[in-house]
Amino acid sequence: MQCPVVSGYVTARLQAQDNINPPNTSGPPNGLAVIFENVGNTAFSVLLRETDDRSVSGTRYTLPAAVGSFPVYVIPGGYVPMACDTSRPFLEVFCTGTTTGQLRMQIDSLRRWTEMGFAKDDPFYPPQLFQAKTVPGPLT
């Protein structure tokens, strides 16, 4: 998955395509191996958070890192591998730094994660990413 990161905003949401009932607190079904890669030219820091529902008002929890620690600070052209455990069905990428950038994130998990969309009135999504911009046409 590739997404922009904007300081103070969530720019990616993922939903698990399975249910864990009851939630397992350890073991392979809940484990994530994540690689955060900076494909832009500015350094940034991000958190990987989880939540129980898709609403914007739900409680968010920073994932407990089995290896490494959050927030993850990624320099331009760099990458940071992490190991985490999750028990909730939704993940979010939240930028904690003071800059913007481009993130490529790879998840290796027994659970299948799919990217979700955002609504324009979502207070956690940066408005500058959905506002229309005019692009000059080709020279004729």
DSSP state of 30: G
pTM, full prediction: 0.79
What is the length of the chain?
A: 140
Q: In the predicted model, what is the mean pLDDT of residues 52-77?
A: 83
Give the residue extent of every domain in the chain: 2-112
Top-tier CATH class for 2-112: mainly beta
Query: How far apart are alpha carbons 32 and 108 in whole angstroms?
Result: 6
pLDDT, mean over the chain: 82
Long-range contacts of 54-58 (CB under 8 A, 24+ apart): 54/13, 54/15, 54/90, 54/116, 56/122, 56/123, 56/124
Phi, psi of 14 (to 5 degrees): -125, 145
Range in 6-20, 21-35, 103-117 with the lowest mean pLDDT = 21-35
Strand duo 10-16 + 44-51: pairing: unpaired
The secondary structure of the chain in percent helix, strand, coil, rounded to multiples of 5, reads 5, 45, 55
Q: Does residue 28 have a pLDDT over 60? A: no
